[in-house]
Amino acid sequence: MDKKKKVAIIGSVGLPANYGGFETMVNYLTIEKNEIIDFTVFCQATPKNKQLKTYNGCKLKYLPFKANGGQSIIYDITAIILSWFKYDAILILGTPGCVILPFLNFFKKTKTIVNFGGLEWKRNKWGRFIQWYLKFTEKTAISSATVVVADNQYFCNYIKKTYNKESFLIEYGGDHTTLQKKNKELLKKYPFLNDKYDVSISRAQVDNNLHVVIEAYIKLPTRNLVLVSNYDKFEYGRELKVKYSHYPNIYLQDAVYNLKEVDTIRSNADVYIHSHTYCGTAPSLVEAMHLNLPIIAFNMPTNHNTTEEKALYFSTVDELFNIVNNLNSIEEFELSKSMKEIALRRYTWSRISNLYASHF
């Protein structure tokens, strides 16, 4: 019997998984492949009494830093240094800690698979220095990594054009979602479930265009919108609540992290609005596709790639208004059927795990 390859996974919050793209991917990758790969997953600072030694059959290693915010760079760099001489391969999720790779490569060529993570430096939530640093680490990561992974063909094209380097397309799975029926408890907790509604889920960041979606639905008073977001985390989100909370057909629902509850909200919607700009193959989008939802997506190349040009697309308030206003049940059915077919063909965790495992 062949000896198991030892692989370290760096850059996620860790396991057990919280709601998030990288975390969900790590969860299902380790579930699918722990029998053939010896995984070690690095985890962020966690109280001693909550630390686990193993999860999903893989080892957990805790560091005294947070995986997000100002400590994230130290978190990633520390994990990379600790792993460099111990593992057959290292999977690095995101590029901020990859500034250390050229230095370590000087001592030993360790196989590194870097998930590029997207054009994070373009987001306007960052100041100039952070944008510069993210762009610098993107270049460093792509030039230093053994294998570069991107979650959208648009990013693969960008990497080839900008850095003349080939990358591998590996998206996200969405088949962990399940269709859920309404129940009395959730009808009480989320009163909008009693009515017909359309749904959209995203972080409350300007580049996710929540204001565009809301403004379109203000012009559609007979159609309800449920917009799930972490409003209180961002000034933009807090401003949206102040400005739009009084509209009777607009439900600004605070973030829901219980998967069964999120699935209930999505499962019972008529349409899913995906308004993200800088995401690649956004987890929330492929999850909605798995739940048979017709998709109306923001007009970006990434979203066209994910939905294979078969969704409906908008760039402005008026375009979204016109699309929704003219939708009929036959068109919604055909859209949902197309989205589900793509999801089952491309966005399953077994397929995604096989693709990652092929590079270790």
Q: How far apart are CA 194 and CA 265, in angstroms?
A: 11
CB atoms within 10 A of CB 342: 18
Per-position pLDDT tens, the chain of length 360:
568 999 999 999 999 987 778 999 999 999 999 999 999 999 999 999 999 999 999 999 999 999 988 899 999 999 999 999 999 999 999 999 999 999 999 999 999 999 988 777 676 667 788 889 888 999 999 999 999 999 999 999 999 999 999 999 999 999 999 999 999 999 999 999 999 999 999 999 999 999 999 999 999 999 999 999 999 999 999 999 999 999 999 999 999 999 999 999 999 999 999 999 988 899 999 999 999 999 999 999 999 999 999 999 999 999 999 999 999 999 999 999 999 999 999 999 999 999 999 999
Kindly report the backbone phi and psi dihedral angles of residue 169, in degrees, each rounded to the nearest multiple of 5, phi listed first: -85, 115
Class of 5-174+348-357 in CATH: alpha beta
Q: Give the C-alpha separation, 296 to 226, whole Å.
A: 14
**Which pTM value belongs to this model?**
0.93
Topology agreement, domain 5-174+348-357 and domain 184-346: yes
The domain spans of the chain are 5-174+348-357, 184-346
Beta-carbon count within 10 A of 49 CB:
5
CATH number among 3.30.450.20, 3.30.390.50, 3.40.50.2000, 3.40.50.300, domain 184-346: 3.40.50.2000
Token code pair at residue 342: 């793509």
Per-residue H/E/C for 169-224? ECCCCCCCCCCCCCCHHHHHHCHHHHCCCEEEECCCCHHHCHHHHHHHHHCCCCCC
